[in-house]
């Protein structure tokens, strides 16, 4: 079995979106005196495996639904549609990835109890339902909500909970920023693919509301995300240095200019990749600032 097609299908550039909220949740946990490295590392590993499983599932279900055309595709190579991985093998791959994530969660389940089971099960279920099932979320304009909830509130809150064994409003508020920035990554993806999505019947927000709305969505998501540290400082009266994370809005400005200057196409790939990098940078700056 050749591993390279599976590596490509895992879409490595998307994986920071899985790790970034765990970093934030872990910083919050240590700041509250409840940090637990084994749980943090297993949470990060589990998040990565769920993300890989979801990418494999998307690769498989998009092929089954006929929405991947490698001749017109502008995004990363899809292994199943390109004939590099048989559909049956890709289906097995996403099942295995999810199973590995579940195995990693056994320790977390023993430590933190039934909430871990619910979080893990829902993450896997909605990862499949994103492109699979009779009403795929990504095909019906609900992908943005899914990404915001699971890559923001659930990821940060879950990473915090498995360490501290409790949750609070500040933690959930802290999950808003990475959730918004992860949704911004999806917004760029949907803008890039707007023409192909119209043909294949994908009803993403840019398809339904137009490219202008998709561009505005990106601007609002990034701007609000960068304002969230200020709101958290006002809420807590502490952690002033986490405001430094908001500086990522400045390197986001050239990306916004590209979206407004260029028509949707392959040029948006660099915006997508750099937005992922900004998400990681935001998470690191926020976490360090919160701990100082």
Q: Average pLDDT for residues 213-218, to the nearest whole number? A: 97
Per-residue pLDDT at 1: 61
Is the distance from CB of 36 to CB of 73 less than 8 angstroms? no
In angstroms, the Cα distances linking 271 to 33, 76, 119, 274, 278 are 37, 13, 31, 5, 10
178: left (phi over 0), alpha (psi -120 to 50) or beta: alpha
**DSSP secondary structure of 83-143:** TSS-HHHHHHHHHHHHHHHHHHHHHHHHHH-HHHHHHHHHHHHHHHHTTSSSS-GGGTT-H
How large a percentage of the chain has pLDDT more than 90? 84
pLDDT class of 81 with cuts at 50, 70, 90: confident
pTM metric for this prediction: 0.94
Per-residue pLDDT at 111: 96
Q: For residue 104, count CB atoms less than 10 angstroms from its CB and return exposed for 0-12, middle for 13-18, buried for 19 or more.
A: buried
Per-residue pLDDT at 196: 87
DSSP state, 10?
T
Separation between Cα atoms, residue 137 and residue 121, nearest integer Å: 17
Separation between Cα atoms, residue 180 and residue 218, nearest integer Å: 9
Place of tokens 């908001």: 246
Where do the domains of the chain lie, and which CATH numbers do they carry? Answer: 4-291 (1.10.600)
Query: If we measure between CA atoms, which residue out of 64, 131, 124, 118 comes closest to residue 97?
Result: 124
- pLDDT tens digits, residue range 240-265? 999 999 999 999 999 999 999 999 98
Query: If we measure between CA atoms, which residue out of 151, 54, 157 comes closest to residue 115?
Result: 157
- pLDDT tens digits, residue range 23-44? 999 999 999 999 999 999 999 9
């Amino acid at each position: 079995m050749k591993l390279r097609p599976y590596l490509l299908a895992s879409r490595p550039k998307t994986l920071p979106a899985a790790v970034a909220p765990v970093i934030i949740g872990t910083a919050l946990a240590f700041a509250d005196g409840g940090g637990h490295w084994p749980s943090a590392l297993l949470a990060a590993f589990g998040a990565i495996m769920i993300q890989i499983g979801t990418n494999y599932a998307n690769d498989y279900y998009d092929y089954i639904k006929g929405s991947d055309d490698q001749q017109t595709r502008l995004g990363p190579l899809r292994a199943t549609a390109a004939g590099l991985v048989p559909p049956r093998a890709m289906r097995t791959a996403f099942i295995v990835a999810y199973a590995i994530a579940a195995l990693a969660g056994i320790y977390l389940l023993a430590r933190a109890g039934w909430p871990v089971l619910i979080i893990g099960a829902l993450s896997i279920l909605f990862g499949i339902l994103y492109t699979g099932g009779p009403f795929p979320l990504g095909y019906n304009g609900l992908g943005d909500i899914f990404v915001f909830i699971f890559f923001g509130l659930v990821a940060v809150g879950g990473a915090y909970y498995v360490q501290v064994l409790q949750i609070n409003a500040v933690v959930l508020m802290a999950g808003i920023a990475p959730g918004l920035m992860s949704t911004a990554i999806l917004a760029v993806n949907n803008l890039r693919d707007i023409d192909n999505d119209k043909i294949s019947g994908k009803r993403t927000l840019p398809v339904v509301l137009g490219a202008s709305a998709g561009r505005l969505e990106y601007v609002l998501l990034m701007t609000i995300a960068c304002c969230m540290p200020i709101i958290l400082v006002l809420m807590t009266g502490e952690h002033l240095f986490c405001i430094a994370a908001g500086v990522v809005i400045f390197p986001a400005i050239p990306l916004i200019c590209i979206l407004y200057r260029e028509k949707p196409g392959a040029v948006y790939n660099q915006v997508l990749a750099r937005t992922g990098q900004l998400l990681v940078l935001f998470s690191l700056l926020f976490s360090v600032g919160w701990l100082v």
